[in-house]
Amino acid sequence: MVCLVTPTAVAISSIDAPDIPWRQKAVRAPSSTRSLIAAASSRVGRPAPRRSPHFKSVAPRFPRNVINWSAKKCTTQLICRIGAVQKSAPARARPLGESFVIIAPSFGRPGRTLVVVAGALALASCGGGAEQPPAPPPPLVSVVTIQAQTVPNIIELPGRIEAVRSAEVRARTDGIIERRLYQEGTDVREGTPLFLIDPRDKRAAVQQARAAVQRAEATRVNARQVYERYRPLISERAVSAQEFEAAQATLRQAEASVADARAALTRAELELSYATVRAPISGRVGRAQVTEGALASATQATPLTTIEQLTPVYAVFAQSSTELQTLLTRARNGELKLPTLTGVEVRLILESGEEYGPVGRLNFADLSVDPATGSQVLRASFVNPDRRLLPGQFVRGRLSAGTVNGFMVPQRAVQIAGSNASVSVVAQDGSVSTRQVQLGGQSGANWIIRSGLKAGDRVITEGWQKVQPGGKVRVQGEQPAAAGAPGRAGPAGQGGAAGQPGQGGTAAQSGQPGQPGAANGPASGR
pLDDT attached to residue 254: 94
pLDDT attached to residue 5: 42
Q: What is residue 128's DSSP assignment?
A: P
pLDDT tens over the chain, length 526 residues: 444 444 434 444 444 445 555 455 544 555 555 565 555 555 555 555 555 454 444 444 444 444 444 444 443 444 444 343 444 444 444 444 444 444 444 444 444 444 444 444 444 444 445 567 887 888 889 899 988 888 778 888 999 999 999 999 999 999 999 999 999 999 999 999 999 999 999 999 999 999 999 999 999 999 999 999 988 888 888 888 889 899 999 999 999 999 999 999 999 999 999 999 999 999 999 999 999 999 999 898 899 999 999 989 999 999 888 888 888 888 888 777 777 877 788 999 999 989 998 999 999 988 888 888 889 999 999 999 989 999 999 999 988 887 777 888 998 899 998 889 999 999 988 899 999 998 877 777 888 888 889 888 999 998 888 888 888 888 886 534 333 333 333 333 333 333 343 333 333 333 333 333 333 333 333 3
Q: Are 192 and 276 in contact (CB under 8 A)?
A: no
pLDDT attached to residue 93: 41
Residues 6+ apart with CB under 8 A from 73: 3
Q: What is residue 102's DSSP assignment?
A: E
- Separation between Cα atoms, residue 443 and residue 441, nearest integer Å: 7
The reply to whether omega before 95 is within 30° of 0 (cis) is: no
Q: Is 428 in a helix, a strand, or coil?
A: coil
- Separation between Cα atoms, residue 443 and residue 163, nearest integer Å: 28
- Separation between Cα atoms, residue 372 and residue 392, nearest integer Å: 21
Q: Are 44 and 65 in contact (CB under 8 A)?
A: no
Give how far Cα 480 sits from Cα of 136, 142, 477, 486, Å.
Answer: 13, 14, 9, 17
Residues in the chain: 526
pTM reported for the whole predicted model: 0.52
Q: What is residue 488's DSSP assignment?
A: P
How many alpha carbons lie under 13 Å from residue 380 in its C-beta half-sphere?
30
Q: Are 146 and 407 in contact (CB under 8 A)?
A: yes
Radius of gyration of the chain (CA): 53
Angular region, 325: left φ>0, alpha ψ -120 to 50, beta rest: alpha
pLDDT attached to residue 256: 94
Residues 6+ apart with CB under 8 A from 370: 318, 376, 377
Residues 6+ apart with CB under 8 A from 43: 11, 13, 117
Q: Is 273 in a helix, a strand, or coil?
A: helix
pLDDT attached to residue 20: 52
